[in-house]
Structure 1
Amino acid sequence: METARKIWLYDTTLRDGAQREGLSLSLEDKVKIAHQLDKMGIPFIEGGWPGANPRDVQFFWKMQEEPLQQAELVAFCSTRRPGQIAAEDQLLQAILAAGTRWVTIFGKSWDLHVTEGLKTRLEENLAMIQDTIEYLRSQGRRVIYDAEHWFDGYKHNPQYAILTLKAALKAGAEWLVFCDTNGGTLPHEIAQIVGEVVNALKINPQDANSPKLGIHTHNDAGTAVANALAAVREGVEMVQGTINGYGERCGNANLCTVAPNLQLKMGYHCLENEQLSQLTNTSRLISEIANLAPDDHAPFVGRSAFAHKGGIHVSAVAKNPLTYEHITPETIGNQRRIVVSDQSGLSNILAKAKNFGIDLNKDDPTCRQILERLKDLEHEGYQFEAAEASFELLMREALGQREELFQLKGFQVHCDMLQGIEMPYSNALATIKVTVNGQDMLEVAEGNGPVSALDKALRKALMNFYPEIADFHLADYKVRILDSGAGTSAKTRVLVESRNSKERWTTVGVSSNILEASYQAVVEGIEYGLLLLKSSVKTAVTVSS
């Protein structure tokens, strides 16, 4: 059996990805991401540009103390400056001090950038490329050469662009990477140009001594992933990209899309199967570290990538998942989700019950009652496809399985607008009364807003009975006005995402009073968290016995 051709993944999340607007990674963030990528089996991890900023210098020092297990950590830098000697360029000294075995050097491919950007001669640019790489090779470094603005340069002056690659090869570069830096090239152009270069340089992927090619694409035309795949088909063996497609402007090629397409659809080998199954978790973990909301609709790794909402879809998937799924979600660490909404049928209800561990038969009248209750509530403004925890509670209540953990006797919220020196400060005080096991509890708490105060007061009241609540936290809070034409009397939907150290869950509340809607969602969030704990304890007892 023929072995699948190896495609090397090169991650630049820590450098190119960090250039995304609104994304800022601390030193600790970068270390965590590097080790997660290493664990997932990414062969090359670009750590940044040491010398360009203090944080990247510290990062490479830190990584010498906490080395990667299998990946090559790569330092990134430009060629030497015009009119200098590489051995005397301080930027290159910082690269050597980073202590990496591999270095990525980028140089100019487009004659426009040479004459207008660098303000130097075309011959000097070739000398800069060759001198820089030769110096790094003399210092024991292995070099990846990123040909910046390659495709624009080739279109404008193909003869000169080829000369830049030959200069890099002559100096000892082991990889030549075509960069679509402006992100405007289309897949058919990528394929044509890469094919022409393969012929011009007489590159043979089967020959171990032949130069190796890579691709680095940006997403300004929305084709970064397609461009990378097109280049691989023409003989490229390295794909540079970022997790979740983070990057400057419109981002880089998304490795979370590139890797499964290459491996599961095109028959190449990027990662071991158990590593590929970590893809979804890695995507979401890095979203958390970067403090950016995960894209629920991202291909392969998005929460909705294998979500089924229409009743016909759900019924078909229950019989054979291939009817509406292009791959098995577990291969990339994702999972199938059945979404419930006013478009749901009995198939949705039965599938959700199965997910919740509830035994429900389609002939049970309760099944139809749950469906009708769902549609009535969604008509009122509830949205259960985004609040599955609330739907499970609704289902258990209909089946008589919802345990009453506490009763609300009433609450009050008082807000003050305190005029500070620079800006007004809103301080809130919440008073709440609940009953647990026949015992009344009255508690007061302050917060920086009414919902925060209400949440704190409720937790304070329940902590005496359910100390596990100390591990619960509000992770997100969303408000949507459902009928804006009603002005301040408009009905409001509140979604609250809660979490503990292991799981996340979302609950919903709807009311014309935003505090009441918030309270509904917060209360159900705490109730569901306790239900999760009880279920896990019950499972543990069953297993141990």
Structure 2
Amino acid sequence: MYPVTTPVLPDRSLWMYDTTLRDGAQREGLALSIDDKLRIAHQLDELGVPFIEGGWPGANPKDVQFFWQLKEEPLQQAQMVAFCSTRRPGRPAAEDTMLQPILSAGTEWITLFGKSWDLHVIEGLKTSLDENLAMIGDTIEFLRQQGRRVIYDAEHWFDGYKADPTYALATLKTALGAGAEWLVLCDTNGGALPPEVADIVGQVRTQLTQEAGSPLALGIHTHNDGAMAVANALVAVTAGATMVQGTINGYGERCGNADLCALIPNLQLKLGYHCIPPQQLTKLTETSRLISEVVNLAPNDHAPFVGRSAFAHKGGIHVSAVERNPLTYEHIQPELIGNHRRIVISDQAGLSNVLSKARSFGIELTKQNPRCRDLLDQLKALERKGYQFEAAEASFELLMRQVLGQRQYYFELQGFQVHCDRMPDGDDWRSHSLATVKVKINGQTILEAAEGNGPVAALDQALRKALLNFYPAMARFYLSDYKVRILDSTAGTAAKTRVLLESSDGHQRWTTVGVSTNIIEASYQAVVEGLEYGLMLQETGTAQTASP
């Protein structure tokens, strides 16, 4: 049903270069332990990325330890790269102690960055233009003498070229003459636009290739300050760049770097370049989500290609069309990059949505089934009350099974109470909650109480205490996200509240919803359904609506 993917030709290979562990780690609020970095490096290795930049040994002790530990847990496919700057002004590279940890990291490849912009040389380095050229050439020659291969990152390249193209080109010629194997053009400030990037990359490629008399190995490194990082990298490739640097999920300082999760499929599936093996491309979505979990940042559900909503269909007309031919509303086959189609259920849903969603749960329904119409009517009635099932598919599956007479009830709630205290704690105050729940399980009435730092935590703990002896698998369940939305703010403290609660068992996630004018009641509804759904997954071994 999809058009044939553009064929990859032997001479259209690109070298993907990931800098998540170095440039990506400069994102505000992102911090990586050594174990985090090792886990990410091995995941990128499995994805098939040829070059992985591990950090700047010597700039901080953590990066030194990371490179040492990596020797005990070597990568299987990728080249690990150490990163550093040129030597300091007025000091020979052989005597610059900054370069010793770089050599001690033991990597075959080193990425060295130097200044392309005369403004940075004069204002930043406080040295002369000639000394900057000497710093570039001397450092690369020294690293080459030590048996290292060098990728030269021309920092602030596009700004430098626009300010003084002759001097900017001189920095590249110096790096090339000293033995650099790659010249990477960096849009460090992220302010360049695609037409000028394409034009400048083309000019550099033409001029330096003519002077060298041989093909030039050019790379591109773009930042996203103008929301152009991916576009700039794409046009650079079409202008002759064969190395593409970026980060998973676009992580990076300020507004981020070029997102490899968008670049790789665009280059490989749309433009016909070879970036990574096709069988490894199917791990792209998994890699994006795993790394977002490791860095402790919520996955971007609306990210192109790898987002949970990237192939989600909500309107009834859309769903009906996609059911007939996915090409009507999908630009690629989601399975090619490890994602999948989702049919979203909401008050805009038609019978097509309900039927398609039922199939994803392993339930076959037809339009002639009267319960199908009953389900749609209940769905729209509940959404009018404030329920939102497009973000709580676990609750919708439970509702569907309830209407069809297939829902299993693992326990019966017979009541709960919550008591909250605010007590002095030295010069401050602390909150304390106590919850009591009464449930009936297999004809047996259980009464349990538990404490928590808030009413929802106390309720959750009390319910788990009551159920754990009957359902030991529940010990693996935990709350991974909790969102509260006021639905009618004009009602003030009497407003209706919607709670979305995400649960996990460590392998999969599912979301449930509760609505009430009482926030504790709304939370309890979501907690109960979260536990019910988790038990259903354990019992059936299915996870249709749970996200990886």
**TM bucket, shorter chain:** over 0.9
1:489 paired residue among 487, 491, 494 = 494
Counterpart CA distance in 2 for 1:511 and 1:9 is 50
Letter in 2 for 1:127: A
Give 1:154-233 correspondences, 5 Å limit: 154-202=161-209, 210-233=215-238
Cα deviation for residue 41 of structure 1 reads 0.6
Letter in 2 for 1:41: G
Counterpart position of 1:70? 77
What does the per-residue CA deviation read over 1:107-143, in whole Å, with 9 as the maximum and x for residues that have no partner? Answer: 0000111111111110000000000000000000000
Counterpart position of 2:156? 149
Cα deviation for residue 274 of structure 1 reads 1.1
Q: 1:315 to 1:204 in 2, by over 3 A?
A: farther
Letter in 1 for 2:221: H
Larger displacement relative to structure 2 (411-420 or 470-479): 411-420
Counterpart position of 2:411? 406
Contact 1:263 1:270 in 2 (8 A): yes
Counterpart position of 2:463? 458
Counterpart position of 1:38? 45
Matched residue SS, 1:201: helix
Counterpart position of 2:134? 127
Contact 2:205 2:216 in 1 (8 A): no
Matched residue SS, 2:309: coil
Letter in 1 for 2:310: A
Counterpart position of 2:252? 247
Contact 2:447 2:466 in 1 (8 A): yes
Letter in 2 for 1:421: G
Counterpart position of 1:518? 523
What does the per-residue CA deviation read over 1:137-156, in whole Å, with 9 as the maximum and x for residues that have no partner? Answer: 00000000000000000000
| Gaps in structure 1 of 5+ consecutive residues | 540-545
Matched residue SS, 1:226: helix
Larger displacement relative to structure 2 (210-219 or 259-268): 210-219
Counterpart CA distance in 2 for 1:414 and 1:61 is 53
Counterpart position of 2:380? 375
Counterpart CA distance in 2 for 1:344 and 1:84 is 69
Letter in 1 for 2:191: G
Cα deviation for residue 502 of structure 1 reads 2.2
1:273 paired residue among 275, 278, 281 = 278
What does the per-residue CA deviation read over 1:487-540, in whole Å, with 9 as the maximum and x for residues that have no partner? Answer: 11110000110111321100000000000000000000000011111111899x
2:292 paired residue among 287, 291, 295 = 287
In the alignment, structure 1 residue 428 sits paired with structure 2 residue 428: no
Counterpart position of 1:543? none
Counterpart CA distance in 1 for 2:426 and 2:130 is 61
What is the TM-score with the length of structure 1 in the denominator? Answer: 0.97
Contact 1:150 1:179 in 2 (8 A): yes
Contact 1:204 1:210 in 2 (8 A): no
Give 1:304-319 correspondences, 5 Å limit: 304-319=309-324
Counterpart CA distance in 1 for 2:175 and 2:425 is 61
What does the per-residue CA deviation read over 1:26-49, in whole Å, with 9 as the maximum and x for residues that have no partner? Answer: 111111100100111110000001
Letter in 1 for 2:480: A
Letter in 1 for 2:85: S
Matched residue SS, 1:506: strand
Letter in 1 for 2:477: F
In the alignment, structure 1 residue 105 sits paired with structure 2 residue 112: yes
Matched residue SS, 2:150: strand
Contact 1:4 1:267 in 2 (8 A): no
Give the percent of matched residue pairs that are identical in Structure 1 and Structure 2.
Answer: 71
Counterpart CA distance in 2 for 1:19 and 1:293 is 17
Matched residue SS, 1:230: helix
Counterpart position of 1:52? 59
Give the number of aligned pairs: 537
What does the per-residue CA deviation read over 1:163-196, in whole Å, with 9 as the maximum and x for residues that have no partner? Answer: 0000000110000000000000000000000011
Letter in 2 for 1:459: R
Larger displacement relative to structure 2 (396-405 or 300-309): 396-405
Cα deviation for residue 199 of structure 1 reads 1.3
Matched residue SS, 2:140: helix
In the alignment, structure 1 residue 527 sits paired with structure 2 residue 532: yes
Letter in 1 for 2:82: A
1:115 paired residue among 101, 122, 128 = 122
Matched residue SS, 1:441: strand
Counterpart CA distance in 1 for 2:65 and 2:543 is 47
Q: 1:203 to 1:61 in 2, by over 3 A?
A: farther
Matched residue SS, 1:198: helix
Counterpart position of 2:4? none
Counterpart CA distance in 1 for 2:169 and 2:408 is 72
Q: 1:299 to 1:537 in 2, by over 3 A?
A: closer
Letter in 1 for 2:379: L
In the alignment, structure 1 residue 85 sits paired with structure 2 residue 102: no
Counterpart position of 1:27? 34
Letter in 2 for 1:307: A
Counterpart CA distance in 2 for 1:204 and 1:302 is 45
Letter in 1 for 2:125: L
Matched residue SS, 2:274: coil
Counterpart position of 1:95? 102
Counterpart CA distance in 1 for 2:63 and 2:533 is 43
Give 1:249-264 correspondences, 5 Å limit: 249-264=254-269
Counterpart CA distance in 2 for 1:76 and 1:259 is 23
Matched residue SS, 1:384: coil
| Gaps in structure 2 of 5+ consecutive residues | 1-6
Cα deviation for residue 428 of structure 1 reads 1.1
What does the per-residue CA deviation read over 1:362-391, in whole Å, with 9 as the maximum and x for residues that have no partner? Answer: 111111111111111111000000000000
Counterpart position of 1:542? none
Matched residue SS, 2:75: coil
Counterpart CA distance in 2 for 1:499 and 1:164 is 52
Letter in 1 for 2:385: E
Contact 1:203 1:211 in 2 (8 A): no
Counterpart CA distance in 2 for 1:16 and 1:4 is 29
Counterpart position of 2:361? 356
Counterpart position of 1:7? 14
Letter in 2 for 1:169: L
What does the per-residue CA deviation read over 1:223-265, in whole Å, with 9 as the maximum and x for residues that have no partner? Answer: 1000000000011000000000000000000000000000000
Runs of 4+ in structure 1 deviating by more than 3 angstroms, as ranges, are none
Counterpart position of 1:235? 240
- The root-mean-square deviation of aligned C-alpha atoms, in Å, is 1.5
Q: 1:151 to 1:446 in 2, by over 3 A?
A: same
Larger displacement relative to structure 2 (425-434 or 386-395): 425-434
Cα deviation for residue 426 of structure 1 reads 1.4
Cα deviation for residue 211 of structure 1 reads 2.9
What does the per-residue CA deviation read over 1:327-367, in whole Å, with 9 as the maximum and x for residues that have no partner? Answer: 00000000000001000000000000000011111111111
Letter in 2 for 1:195: G
Letter in 1 for 2:383: E
Counterpart CA distance in 2 for 1:19 and 1:441 is 51
Contact 1:382 1:510 in 2 (8 A): yes
